[in-house]
Amino acid sequence: MAAPRSSSALTAHLRRVSGFQVVSLVVAAIVVGTLAVTIVRLAVWTWQKYGLGIGHFYATQVFGNPVMVKTIIDTLVIVGVSCALATVIAGILAWLNERTDASIGIVGRVLPLVPFLMPAISFPLGWVFLTAPSSGLINVLLRQLLGSVGVKLITGPINIYSWYGMIFLYTVFLSGFAYLVLSSSMRTLDRGLEEAARMAGAGPVKILFRITLPALRPAMVTAYFLCAIVGLIMVAVPVTVSTHANIPVLSVTLVNLVTTTTPPAYADAFLVGLLLLVPIIGLWLLQRNSAANGRIAVIGGKASGEARLALGRGGKFLGRLIFVVYVAVTVAFPLLGLLYVSGVSFWSLVLPLTWNPIPNVKLVFSNPVASQAILWSLLLGVGGGLIMIAVAHVLSYSQRLFPRAGRVVDALVKSPVVIAQILIAVAILVTFGGAPFHLEGTTWIILIGYLLVFLPFSSVLTTGAHQEIGSDVIEAATMAGSSDARTFRSIVTPLTRPALVAGFLLMFVLVAGENNISLILASTTRPVVGYVMVDLFNFGSFPQVASMALVVTLVNLVFVSLFMLIFGSRLPFAQRWPIRLLRRRDRVGEAPGRVAPKQEAATVTR
């Protein structure tokens, strides 16, 4: 009789499994399986070379090597300090724009993202063009100004090739990533605590640091986690600055082990890259614990109000001034450097007699490889961003359906961050480039590479957004008879929509300006922006690199602005614009005797 009971119990259990759960398991299996293939490929390379001598490698070549120890320490210091500064700066900017009357609306949401709307290598290049000790435009002008009053300098006075230059570039670059996380969380946080603190006499600064930021602890930890992932594996900033500054960084060391050694030291790079696992796992555990202890603010069933915190005339002016300074430092000056170099024939320490960027810009559009690279990067950014954010969204919700298995899948999805991106690219090329797939030189192999490399970032964003949804909301839907698919579609997705939009935009700009794995997977038949720009940079074509960076930045900025305008609100675009038109008609008085605006808006919404 035991067998029939066991069979009936299994049948009953299978009947309780919903279709959405099956889909979640299939998606997780595909993602984990693909990751396993690439990681196992790298592990096999390592085992074939060292076998049981891996411990001896770490003892002698890593921790016994003073240069490698200095590289690890310098990397941790730069990334740790920069991520903390970037998170605080992003929190202040998000608070000013989302919670106070100093907000500048959609402009404030777009401006902090501009630094990484540029192709990855172009942002540090913009600052190098301005502050390089000898040829930087600002240094050249300052030396002329100081020389007029009798102060003679050969180089400087500003030196971007230094510790403060490295931390500055890291902080500015990473602040946009932190802002994506914090701005969406600021927008959905209940304003009740802030209103209570304001009624109790607390000032704006005290409300920010004692109420708002502590209430967003999961989002703060998520922002720091995301910045750490990007900072640890970033190549664009250190490759342009760290060599001249004599500050070794681990990501550049990993790339050099693969690209500058003969034969490529894949096994050494893989073992050194595994060291990144320690800080990543520590921050991941901190992210989970910050949401598990319950001492946080979450999205509940009650909507937040629309009232903004009044800063007063002086506070409002100071808030707007902070935006202006941030925009000048992160956008205006790098673009100025790119514009300056794009209009000269050669970049040197002598100011040019003429400046005209049009010829170099024309070269970008007349070059078939460069124009195809921009088009393919745009298409891959849109398609890859949609796929990655959809997969991460499903996997994050599956952690509620399968708590234990979901955590394992979440950890495996984030595992590629511990491996240098260029190593993953090589493994993908070996795995999918030949038989039986034959994807070498195609768009598909580039897309697979982007999905594996950038899926951890989208997973961080969606996981943080799902953690902010109170369990009472999901339990109420379940008790009301809602299926998993309906709860996911009608409740979870609308509540996480700001984070999903932010995640898609992040994926788009990451893919559109990527320059690590594209060096391995792209080709002249399927070029992308990063591949072409690095090629021009290696040949010393700085004016052409600057011109292409400006064109790509403009394309990305237009796309992101239009996307946020259409999808950046909780209210669907098709309902939002009729409401605006009705309100505008109400203001100009074109329809006398009409219904009240609130009633019109409610009618259109229904």
158: left (phi over 0), alpha (psi -120 to 50) or beta: beta
Highest mean pLDDT among 87-96, 382-391, 535-544: 382-391
pLDDT 10s digits, 35-58: 777 777 777 777 777 777 778 878
Q: Of how many residues is the chain composed?
A: 606
Q: Which of 484, 544, 487 has the alpha carbon at shortest distance from 341?
A: 544
Average pLDDT of the segment spanning 82-106: 81
Question: What's the fold here for domain 19-64+357-573?
Answer: MetI-like fold (1.10.3720)
CA distances from 302 to 31, 184, 399, 465 (A): 36, 17, 24, 17
Average pLDDT of the segment spanning 468-491: 77
Say what the pTM is.
Answer: 0.72
Alpha carbon distance 422, 445 (integer Å)? 14
Alpha carbon distance 225, 467 (integer Å)? 15
Reading the block at residue 277, the tokens are 């696992």
Q: Helix H segments across 402-434?
A: 403-414, 421-432
Alpha carbon distance 296, 224 (integer Å)? 17
* pLDDT at position 577 over 60: no
Which residues sit opposite 299 in a β-bridge?
469
Alpha carbon distance 174, 500 (integer Å)? 19
Helices 403-414 and 19-50 cross at an angle (nearest 10°) of 40
Q: Kindly write down the DSSP assignment for every residue of 351-395, as one continuous string.
A: --S----HHHHHHHHH-HHHHHHHHHHHHHHHHHHHHHHHHHHHH
Reading the block at residue 560, the tokens are 């992101």
Alpha carbon distance 159, 175 (integer Å)? 22
The full set of domain ranges for the chain reads: 19-64+357-573, 73-246+311-355
**Architecture per CATH, 73-246+311-355:** Orthogonal Bundle (1.10)
Identical fold, 19-64+357-573 and 73-246+311-355 = yes
* pLDDT at position 555 over 70: yes
pLDDT at 26: 76
DSSP state of 51: G
Reading the block at residue 291, the tokens are 């949401």
* pLDDT at position 215 over 50: yes
What mean pLDDT, rounded, does the chain reach?
75
Reading the block at residue 541, the tokens are 């074509």
